[in-house]
Amino acid sequence: MQNNIISGLFVGQNFVLLKEVDSTNNYLKQLASNSKPLPEGTVIMAENQYAGRGQQQNGWFAQNGKNLTFSILFKPAFLNITEQFDLVRAISLGVFDAFEPLLGPALKIKWPNDIYYGEHKLGGMLIENMIQGGQIKNAIAGIGLNINQENFPDWVPNAISLKQILHADYDLNTLLSEICRHIEGWYLKLKAGKINDIRNSYLSRLYWLNEPHTFKSKDGLFTGTIKDVCYNGVLKVQGNNKEELEFSLKEIEFMNK
């Protein structure tokens, strides 16, 4: 354990900094599976993560020592399995609120859990739930955010960093503490049952909400307008003929320019 750099009630009170790891999610999953109980809010941060993952095994590229790559352990047994997307909402809102004072109205949450600035990806999350006996025993939220990196490989064409936007270097520990503080606040709202507040706040910050854009589904390209996100995370899009379409993860692609 490292000296505590995070000032929240429980998120980050147990903080481990690693020089290098394949994936902070993998490392935290292994720790959580051990017989010794791991406190809720444990944060694992890596200076270099060489096999980071996004949704559905997508790769995540992060230059050594330039960005934030970390995972947080939650124990949301209070949350119904059918409403586990509300945890995705809460964590996305926490990250959003940490950056909004710096980046303003161009900052959005791209469904389901990416953070966008304009048309570019600033970061993303991978939330893995371990279900036991009909309850979510553990949830591990892996978060990757582009902070001080200035160049990205060609295979990451849509990425942007905080430094590229604001032309300044940022202290990673300070940002991490702020992110964890906001995530903790939204998580406590979730625990208190303020579900409508969480769902409405998530929707109001959504990328491309109520704007006609081009999407791609199994049926090909179409023009649609995002209208809502269901309780279970399914995306509602109004199609060309005003019909209401519903999409789960990987069933729809945003055709960014």
What residues does each domain of the chain span?
Answer: 15-204, 212-254
pLDDT digits (tens, 9 = 90+) for 218-253: 999 999 999 999 999 999 999 988 899 999 999 999
CATH tag, 212-254: 2.30.30
Q: What angle do CA 4, 87, 182 make, to 5 degrees?
A: 40
Residue 18 near residue 28, CB atoms below 8 Å: no
Q: Which residues of 99-136 are buried (b: 16+ CB within 10 A; e: fewer)?
A: beeebeeebbbbbbbbbbbeebbbbbbbbebeeeeeeb
Query: pLDDT tier at 75 (50, 70, 90 boundaries)?
Result: very high
pLDDT of residue 18: 94
User: 15-204: which CATH architecture?
Assistant: 2-Layer Sandwich (3.30)
pLDDT of residue 58: 46
Tell me if the pTM is above 0.85.
Answer: yes
The residues, ordered by sequence, that sit 6+ positions from 161 with a Cβ below 8 Å of its Cβ are 66, 67, 122, 146, 147, 148, 149, 150
Q: What is the mean pLDDT of the chain?
A: 91
Sheet architecture: strand order including 120-132: 15-21, 43-49, 68-74, 135-145, 120-132, 114-117, 107-110
